[in-house]
Amino acid sequence: MKGLGIKGLCQGLTFDTSQFVKPLDNVFNRLLIIIPGIGHGIEGSLMSNQEFRDFNLIKPIYRALRDMNYTNPTPVQLQSIPPLLAGRDLLGCAQTGTGKTAAFALPIIQHLARNQRRRERGFVRALIVTPTRELAAQIYENLNMYSKYLDVTSVVVFGGVKQNSQVKSLNKGVDILVATPGRLLDLISQGYIKLEKVEFFVLDEADRMLDMGFIPDVRRILKYLPNKRQTMFFSATLSPKIIQLSKSMIHNPIRVDVTPEKPVVELIDQRLMNTKTKQEKSTVLMNILKEQNVKKALVFTRTKHGANKLAKLLARADIEALAIHGNKTQNARQKALENFKSGRIKVLIATDIAARGIDVEGISHVINHDIPNVAETYVHRIGRTARAGCRGISISLCGPEENEFIRDIEKLIKQSIPVVDVKPYMTKVELNPEEPRPQVQNRPSQKRNVHKPRNPQGQNRRKQRGQASPGSQARRGNHNR
């Protein structure tokens, strides 16, 4: 059978649901298989010689991609962009760092650019919902780069900062809105955002939404959306709950699944170091970070307090590090990320809020100071390294109480993590003395006026008139009795 060819795919990609198999040999070198209850699935091998120019993208988008040195699409982009350009709903399962943002963003931008409409205050044409502030900011940044030669506007809204500037941007009218669920619903309830005219809806990191308890918010958001829309649903994993959620959102979708049989990037050199105490963990970590081959390290802790404590400890060892977690202000988090990206600091300490939101090139090491108690979280954490075809190293420091977590992780990734001897990393690290805490000076106590009158102005007027207050009259009456 004659192949369709990528350039003609948008016009030629039609599907007959009465057929179980439709050959697309010239496009993907694979078969398009209908998966009952889910839609059409794309499986098999990929052709490696495709380029972005083969997608029939408009010249301003292709020009922007060239500026970013984007030439060859990743597997998820290769499989997703053609059917999305053709207007299909999509269910995508791909590991983090596989290029999902461009996969859904480029078709949306192309459609909006080709079908310009007058912007209206509060109305949006495309809505992208994502679980974390960092990920929302990253998607917004990418959208601006992809559309920089087009009249397509984007706005990002998330919590943790004042809403004034966000509302000001919304009032100008917007084509693409990137939002976290909480702030989106707040602004909808205040009347600043209207979703009745949304043409494209993207739910990104759906499994992370489930983990963070955002699914009820997502269901509320769905009620504001029109039934006629194109929906893109992306998740790193497809659990039964995620599948059930997707069925309520997408209609007869293309299913794109580029998750390998082993859900861990093969380019990551995984290592396990067993420690006996928390102090040993910290010693091993400091010795690792002092090695010359550690160019840029992302260190994960379980708690916010643990992240702050570890940052202070590393500072005493003359290792510059910053912590990023939910209790930090958005400005502080953004500044820490910028310093990490630019290389001003080589160590960033994070809780799992950053596991999906950090997209930084050149991370050489991901270190689990605390082993995650959810096996899937391990995959998301170490996926921060070995991006764009580069190699990376992940090191997990495991205490005795965390052995069961390691067993769960190895069961998930279907392999044992190689154990590395900790003895070479047990050298005592000289620490600078702790900075003394600032002493709080005792302020002189002031006598408080316990019987301060409730309405001193009224009392003063009565005194001027020679009248007694109601309270004093009552006291005098009791005394006379």
Across the strands, what pairs with 23?
31
Q: Lowest mean pLDDT: which of 168-182, 260-274, 275-289? A: 260-274
Which of the four pLDDT bands, split at 50, 70 and 90, describes residue 17?
very low
pLDDT tens, 420-458?
Answer: 999 999 999 999 988 766 665 555 555 555 555 555 555
pLDDT for 479 beyond 70: no
Sign of the alpha-carbon torsion through 220, 223, 225, 227? positive
> Hunting for tokens 């006629």 — which residue is that?
228
| Residue predicted with more confidence, 363 or 29 | 363
**pLDDT tier, 79 (very low <50, low <70, confident <90, very high otherwise):** very high
Q: Which domains does the chain have, with CATH numbers?
A: 9-257 (3.40.50.300), 268-425 (3.40.50.300)
Judge residue 349's burial from the number of C-beta atoms within 10 Å of its C-beta, 0-12 exposed, 13-18 middle, 19 or more buried. buried
Nearest Cα residue to 287 out of 318, 324, 322: 318
Residue 459 pLDDT exceeds 90: no
**For the residues 219-247, what does the mean pLDDT come to?**
92
Q: What is the mean pLDDT of residues 210-214?
A: 84
Residue 412 has a pLDDT of 87
Q: How far apart are CA 19 and CA 30, in angstroms?
A: 16
Alpha carbon distance 156, 179 (integer Å): 6
Q: What are 362-398's pLDDT values in tens digits?
A: 899 999 999 999 888 898 889 888 876 678 999 999 9
The pLDDT assigned to 356 comes to: 60
Question: How many angstroms separate the CA atoms of 380 and 208, rounded?
Answer: 10
Task: Encode pLDDT of 293-347 as tens digits.
Answer: 899 999 999 999 999 999 999 999 999 999 998 788 878 888 998 899 999 999 9
Instruction: Note the pLDDT tens digit of each residue in 103-136.
Output: 999 999 999 999 999 999 999 999 999 998 888 9
Percent of the chain with pLDDT over 70: 77
User: What are the beta bridge partners of residue 93?
Assistant: 235, 257
Residue 180 CB contacts under 8 Å (≥ 6 apart), including other chains: 129, 130, 131, 132, 133, 136, 157, 158, 159
Per the CB < 8 A criterion, the answer to whether 165 and 132 are in contact is: no
Cα 217 to Cα 225: distance, rounded to the nearest angstrom: 13
